[in-house]
Each structure stands twice: as structure tokens, then as C-alpha cells.
Amino acid sequence: MSEAGLLELRKKLDAIDDELLELINKRMDLVHEVGLLKAKSGGAIYRPEREKAIIDRLDTLNKGKLNRAAIEAFFLEIFAISRNFELPENIAYLGPEGSFTHQAAEARFGAMSSYISIGSIKGVFREVNTKKARFGVIPIENSSNGIVSDTINCLSTYDLKIIAEVVLNIHHTLATTCDKVKDIKKIYSKDIAFEQCRRFLENFGLDEVEHIPVESTTKAAKLALNEPNSAAICSHVGAKLYNLPILFENIEDKDNNKTRFFIISDFENAQSGNDKTSILVKLPNLQGVLVEFLTDFDKAKINLTKIKSHIVEGDSIFFIDFNGHKDDENVKEIFKKHKESIKFLGSYVKEIDDI
């Protein structure tokens, strides 16, 4: 292509960018008007079911080169900017900057939100409960390591609601200042990450070096940067955050290693048409009670996607996910019949059936 032809294409791109800027500013003007109406009515700024409806509609209309993932990534950032334009949001999350929970938070709330790093799951719940943070992001389960007990305990204790779920593919790297594997004498990481990369460590003889558990993979990267002959099992983002060279990518044993996160707040979602509901259930210790409870869901044609037993303060409870919204007629009947046994945790847009 000639230089003149390239310049002409760049002029066209500039013109489109100018038009996009003008349209986005027009959108912000409308967002401001909506925000004023919500402020008068006390409505929530973040409405996951509304955002899903917008993306669904745009995906249906799309006739260009963008796929759904690209449309979602682009518009989720616009949604986040729009929310912050009206009301700056504090988002509390578990772990330091660069942790997987931080990445899950940014996937929903964008780069412009104000993030608060908290060292414990209980601390995240406390920040939201005292309204120091508008939202909290915490892990609920990993496909390899199961349910996070601290999250279940806090869901049982606090009267906050799950308003969204986020599912991340979890990839680990081996990052180090060492040029060769044989020079590594110790590895820092979170205990769960060591478990998820066991086969890799054995294959490279790294199961015999010192493994030092720390509270986060991001801290592992920071430690490995400053200690000779050490390495970290951490995320790609964590390694880049501290400019720690990556020796191997994607070292996790399972290709489909996923972690599911909850976003919590103090409001409930409206129906979206594609919802999931989470509940905690405490049943009398009588023969056949659990079977009767589950049979009621089957009769109501409600699809249970997860049932996990858990011990909270010595009592056996069940954490249950099912497809549907608490305001669906068949779900309302279940809640009415078992109101003494069920704690409603939240209805939210379904991202995935199960991990």
C-alpha cells in the first residue's frame, strides 16, 4: 500500500474515533439523567441483569467482526466508567493487588473504580457491611480445591446478598530471576497453588526444593524478586507487577482450572431471565428430611446445580445453587414451604452452570 493510501485509511480511523468520542459523551449525559432519577428513588447504580440485557441485545444485532467476548469486554468497561461517572465505587477484594480476586474485581468493575485490598474474607464482608465499600469480591470455589469455607461461614453470618458471580480461568507461571531450573533452591507460593501445580513440580525435580507457603501468589512474586535462587508460582499479572521474569507459563496440572467468585452488596437483583440463586439450608436432624426437601425442587421443575454440605459452628448446613430467581413463582412456593430452613443468599445473572 502506498503512503498516501495509508494516510487516507488513518484519516478514516480518526474520523470514526472522533464520532465514537462524541457518542460516548452523549451516553454519559444520559447516564447522568438516569443517575439523578435513581438517586431520587434510591435505586442501585450497579444492575448486573440490566448490563446482561444490553450485551445480549448487542450480540443479537452484531453483524461485524466482533464476537460476544469482545463486545462484552468493551461494554463492561463503558458500564464501569458510567457508574463511576455517577458515583465513585469502593470495591473491597481479598488479597493484594494482582491477585486472582483483584483480577475478578477488575473484570466486572473496570480500571477506574477505587479498589481496597483486604487481607481476609471476613474483612471484605465487614467492609461492605459497614458501608466502607459498596461491593465486595471474594472466592467461593475452585474446580480443583472445592468450596472456600471462610466464604460460606461469612455468608451464614452476614446479611449481605450475592449480586453477581465471576468465573476466571486460573493459570499459574513459574517466575524467577534464575536463568536455569537447576539454580532454584526455594519456591514461594500460596498453598493451594502448590497443589494445583504438583505434576509440573515433580516433572522438573522442583518437588525436592524448599516450598514456602505465603498468603498470596502476588506476595510470592515480590519475595522471589529479592531473593537469589528463589522462584514464585504466581499469576502472569503478579509476575509482571514486580517485573519478575517468567520462566514457564501455564504450569497448572489441569487445563480447565477455574475459580468462581461472588460479588456481594446490600441489595437484590431483579429478574434477568437467566438467573441462578444461592441458598443456605439447615434442616432438622430427622430421617428423610433432606430427601423430602430435594424432592420438592424436583416437583417444582427447578434444576439444582450444586449441593455441598458444610459445618458452621457445629451445625451441618447445605450450600445449594439452582437455576432460577427468588421471584419466580415455582421458587416462591419452595421458599414459602421451607421458610424456617432456608437463608436466601442472592439471585444473580448466571455465568456458568458449574465449574
Interatomic CA distance for residues 55 and 75, integer angstroms: 8
Confidence of residue 165 (pLDDT cuts 50, 70, 90): very high
* Mean pLDDT rounded to a whole number for the chain: 91
Alpha carbon of 59 to those of 78, 277, 340: distances in Å?
Answer: 16, 25, 42
Domain boundary (86, 101, 132) is at 86
Would you give the DSSP letter of residue 182?
G
Whether residue 34 sits in one domain with residue 177: no
The 10s digit of each residue's pLDDT in 172-226 is 999 999 999 999 999 999 999 999 999 999 999 999 999 999 989 999 999 999 9
Domain containing 51 equals 18-86
pLDDT value of residue 44:
64
Is a pLDDT exceeding 80 seen at residue 85?
A: no
In a domain, 2, yes or no: no
Domain CATH for 340: 3.30.70.260
Average pLDDT of the segment spanning 219-240: 96
In a domain, 185, yes or no: yes
Whether residue 262 sits in one domain with residue 137: yes
Domain CATH for 206: 3.40.190.10
Provide DSSP, 187-221. Answer: EEE-HHHHHHTHHHHHHTTTTSSEEEE-S-HHHHH
Whether residue 263 sits in one domain with residue 131: yes
- Residue 69, sorted as left (phi over 0), alpha (psi -120 to 50) or beta, turns out to be alpha
In a domain, 315, yes or no: yes
Average pLDDT of the segment spanning 52-68: 92
pLDDT value of residue 48:
82
Interatomic CA distance for residues 145 and 273, integer angstroms: 31
Is a pLDDT exceeding 60 seen at residue 41?
A: no
pLDDT value of residue 80:
82
Domain boundary (86, 102, 130) is at 86
In a domain, 217, yes or no: yes
Whether residue 263 sits in one domain with residue 158: yes
Do 47 and 269 meet the contact criterion of CB atoms below 8 Å apart? yes
Interatomic CA distance for residues 222 and 231, integer angstroms: 10
pLDDT value of residue 43:
58
Cell numbers representing residue 67 in the block: 464476537
The 10s digit of each residue's pLDDT in 72-81 is 888 988 888 8
Sheet with 210-213: list strands edge to edge: 210-213, 186-189, 230-234, 173-176, 246-248
Whether residue 138 sits in one domain with residue 42: no
> CA-CA-CA-CA torsion for 227, 228, 234, 235, nearest 10 degrees?
100
Average pLDDT of the segment spanning 296-304: 95
In a domain, 8, yes or no: no
Do 291 and 241 meet the contact criterion of CB atoms below 8 Å apart? no
CA-wise closest residue to 80 among 121, 109, 43: 109
Domain count, the chain: 4
In a domain, 184, yes or no: yes
